[in-house]
């Protein structure tokens, strides 16, 4: 079955430090991969997505992610954390193992940015 694993439910970084949020997926078909961000008391919004074009994907707010098929990973990075990056981040994949366009989300990583 399709699955998404986000290592680290909570990550803390200092302001200005590198942000690295990990996402590994399992898939029997070529995946589409997404990172969504959720600010407190809000819905989710798209940060970036991989749709089989370039493997290095740039998103909003300075975030980027690299699709590595050999490692089945899609880690999210940002060179320099800002206080406004504090939020919960979700990795998601589709389609599922049967090719149906269900979405599988990871359990989320809450990012804390320390002053």
Partner 1 sequence: EAQVTQNPRYLITVTGKKLTVTCSQNMNHEYMSWYRQDPGLGLRQIYYSMNVEVTDKGDVPEGYKVSRKEKRNFPLILESPSPNQTSLYFCASSLGTEGQETQYFGPGTRLLVL
- Is residue 56 a contact partner of residue 64, using CB atoms and an 8 Å limit? yes
Q: Name which position in 44, 64, 77, 86 contacts partner 1 (CB under 8 A).
A: 44
Q: Is 94 in the site for partner 1 (CB under 8 A)?
A: yes
Decide if residue 42 touches partner 1 (CB under 8 A). yes
Rg value, the chain, Cα = 14
**Interacting residues with partner 1 between 51 and 80 (CB under 8 A):** 51-52
- The full 3-state SS of 13-60, as one line of letters, equals EECCCCEEECCEEECCCCCEEEEEEECCCCCEEEEEEECCCCCEEECH
Residue whose entry in the numeric block shows the structure tokens 């819905």: 43
Contact segment (CB under 8 A) with partner 1 among 18-26, 56-64, 69-77, 87-95 equals 87-95
What are the counts of helices (DSSP H) followed by strands (DSSP E) for the chain?
0, 12
Select the residue interacting with partner 1 from 24, 49, 64, 86 (CB under 8 A): 49
40 contacts partner 1 (rule: CB under 8 A)? no
Tokens 């320390």 locate to 114
Nearer to partner 1, 15 or 102 (CB): 102
Binding residues vs partner 1 (CB under 8 A): 6, 9, 32, 34, 36, 42-46, 49, 51-52, 90, 92, 94-95, 100-108
């Amino acid at each position: 079955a399709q699955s998404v694993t986000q290592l680290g439910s909570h990550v803390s970084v200092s302001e200005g430090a590198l942000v690295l949020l990990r996402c590994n997926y399992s898939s029997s078909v070529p995946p589409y991969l997404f990172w969504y961000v959720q600010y407190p008391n809000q819905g989710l919004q798209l940060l970036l997505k991989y749709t089989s074009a370039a493997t290095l994907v740039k998103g909003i707010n300075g975030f980027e992610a690299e699709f590595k098929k050999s490692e089945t990973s899609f880690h999210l990075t940002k060179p320099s954390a800002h206080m406004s990056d504090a939020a919960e981040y979700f990795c998601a994949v589709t389609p599922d193992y049967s090719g149906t366009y269900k979405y599988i989300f990871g359990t989320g990583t809450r990012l804390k940015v320390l002053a």
